[in-house]
A = this chain, B = another copy of it.
Amino acid sequence: MATTTGRVYRIATVTCSVRAPRLNPFISQYVRDTIAPSRTGIALDIIDLQDQALPLCDEPEIPSHLPPDDPTPHYRNEHTRRWSETVRGYDAFIFVTPQYNWSIPASLKNALDYLFYEWKGKPTAVVTYGGKGGGKAADHLRQILTGLQMRVAKSTAQLTVTSKTLEYCLKLDEINGADTERWRKDGMEAELQNAFKELVDMLQGGQ
C-alpha cells in the first residue's frame, strides 16, 4: 500500500495498559508486525503509555478551550506538554487495549482526556484483547474517539487470549504461535490489515 502523495505519514500503535505484568506490549508488536509489510510510505511507531508517566489529569483548563492550532504551550504541566507534542507528531493512531470490567482501562481514558485538538479529525482504529476479545471495551472506545471527533475505522480486531497467553509471552519474550494462529483463523489478521488500509485511505483522501 504505497502512498500516492509522496508524503510519509506517521501512524502510531498505542500500548494502552500501564499495569505490570502486562501483555499489551506483545500484542502491540503483533499488530505492528501484521500491518508492517504493506506500509510503503508510512512510518509505523509504537507509543507506550507507560513511558508517558501521566498522572491522573491535573490540568486546570478544558483542552477543547485551548487554541486549536497550537495548544501545546498552554498546558501547565511538563508531562502534558510532552504528551501534546508527541500526539501532534502523528497523523493516525491504532489503539491497542485490554478490556477491564467491560470497558477500557483508566490509563487510556486519562491519556485521551488530557488533549483534544491533538486528536481531532485524525483517523484511528481500535484493537482490543481479552478472554472474549474485548468487544465491550471496543464499543466504549469507539464512542469516546467519536466524541473526540476522530475518524474511526470500521474494521476492529478483537483478539481472544487464554489463561496461558501471558505466561507464554513472558517466558518466550514473544507471542506463542498458537495464539497468532488462532487470531489468523478468527479472521483477525485480515481485520488488522483492513483497518490499516482504512487508515491510509482516510489519510490520502483527506489531502
- Indicate if A77 sits at the interface (CB-CB under 8 A): no
Which residues in B have their C-beta under 8 angstroms from that of A136?
143, 147
Binds B, one of A4-12, A13-21, A33-41: A13-21
Is B103 touching A58 in the complex (CB atoms < 8 A)?
no
Known: A140-B140, A146-B102. A20 touches B60 (CB 8 A): yes
Partner of A56 from the list B18, B102, B104 (CB cut-off 8 Å) is B18
Known: A21-B60, A56-B110. A147 touches B105 (CB 8 A): no
Partner of A102 from the list B55, B58, B60, B143 (CB cut-off 8 Å) is B143
* Copies of this chain, count: 2
Chain B nearest CB: distance from A57 CB in Å?
Answer: 6
Partner of A103 from the list B19, B100, B144 (CB cut-off 8 Å) is B144
Known: A58-B19, A143-B136. A106 touches B110 (CB 8 A): yes
In the bound complex, CA of A136 to CA of B148 (Å): 13
Among A53-94, those with CB < 8 Å from B are 54-60
Partner of A113 from the list B55, B101, B147 (CB cut-off 8 Å) is B101
Is B20 touching A103 in the complex (CB atoms < 8 A)?
no
Partner of A57 from the list B102, B106, B146 (CB cut-off 8 Å) is B106
- Indicate if A112 sits at the interface (CB-CB under 8 A): yes
Which residues in B have their C-beta under 8 angstroms from that of A146?
102
Between A20, A60, A101, the greatest number of chain B beta carbons within 10 A of the residue's beta carbon is seen for A101
Residue of B nearest to A64 (CB): B101
A-B contacts besides A101-B144, A106-B110, A136-B147, 8 pairs, CB < 8 Å: A19-B58, A20-B60, A56-B107, A100-B113, A101-B109, A103-B109, A103-B140, A106-B113
Q: State the A residues within 8 Å of B (CB).
A: 18-21, 54-60, 100-107, 109-110, 112-113, 136, 140, 143-144, 146-148
